[in-house]
Structure 1
Amino acid sequence: MQPYSNQNDAFTERDLNEHHSKCRKHLYQFIQVELNDGSVYQGILHSFDREKMYLIMPRAGHSQTPHTMDESNESRLFPFLGPFGLFGFPFFGIRRFGPFFPFFI
């Protein structure tokens, strides 16, 4: 039986094994994930299971002091204080992921 056959026929057992191998290599590191729809997320790879990888990321729409923060500060990568969330990304929806480097070499 092929995993995820009802979700995406192109996703194979080999793809799943490659994702798991990369997850083991980058566990607890700051990574960047690009989804099939082109959206990109950065966070700390917290864990993974057979179906998903889980990133620690700031919760959307949260700000430290809502009355004094302006919209330009919402684009910050991580606020220094404030709640973070654990977000799951299904492997079949991931185009690629790897370590995040905020600079060009």
Structure 2
Amino acid sequence: MQPYFNQNAAYPERDKADHHEKCRKHLYHFVQVELNDGSIYQGILHSYDGEKMYLLMPRDHHRTDETSGENRLFPFFGPFGLFGFPFFGIRRFGPFFPFFI
């Protein structure tokens, strides 16, 4: 079995530029995100910054710790919350389909 090679570790700046371009293209669209640990999330791509992309997802879709200062749930989103995903932890993302294209 070959060891897993993380492309993001080899070319972090190139991949960050790729993520920013993809975020710009899919802003306010329904997207699917696969993290490096294999977990998959779907939500509306709300915004992004230099380090993270933010998805609007149902509150119960993502585990939250009510005592944590990291909780970014806003009452004006209703039953939804805004969750940040750091670019270094994302394996791939794109428009939501039953599969990645």
Q: Please report the TM-score for the alignment, with normalisation by the length of structure 2.
A: 0.69
For 2:94, the equivalent position in structure 1 comes to: 98
C-alpha offsets along residues 34-86 of structure 1, whole Å, 9 cap, x if unaligned? 0000000000000000000000000127xxxxxxxxxxxxxxxxxxxx51000
Rounded Cα–Cα distance in structure 2 between residues aligned with 1:56 and 1:10: 30
Is 1:84 aligned with 2:80? yes
Q: How far did 1:102 drift? A: 4.0
Within a 5 Å distance, the mapping from 1:31-70 to structure 2 comes to 31-60=31-60
Rounded Cα–Cα distance in structure 2 between residues aligned with 1:9 and 1:102: 28
Q: How far did 1:15 drift? A: 0.5
Rounded Cα–Cα distance in structure 2 between residues aligned with 1:11 and 1:36: 16
Report the 3-state secondary structure (helix = DSSP H, G, I; strand = E; otherwise coil) of the residue aligned with 2:54. strand
- Which structure has greater helix proportion? 2
Paired positions, count: 77
Rounded Cα–Cα distance in structure 1 between residues aligned with 2:12 and 2:45: 22
RMSD: 2.1
The answer as to whether partners of 1:11 and 1:92 remain within 8 angstroms in 2 is no
Report the 3-state secondary structure (helix = DSSP H, G, I; strand = E; otherwise coil) of the residue aligned with 1:60. helix
Q: Please report the TM-score for the alignment, with normalisation by the length of structure 1.
A: 0.67
Superposed structure 1 runs of 4+ greater than 4 Å apart: none
Q: Which runs of 5+ in 1 are unaligned?
A: 1-7, 62-81
Q: Which runs of 5+ in 2 are unaligned?
A: 1-7, 62-77
Q: Tell me the percent identity.
A: 80
Rounded Cα–Cα distance in structure 1 between residues aligned with 2:25 and 2:95: 10
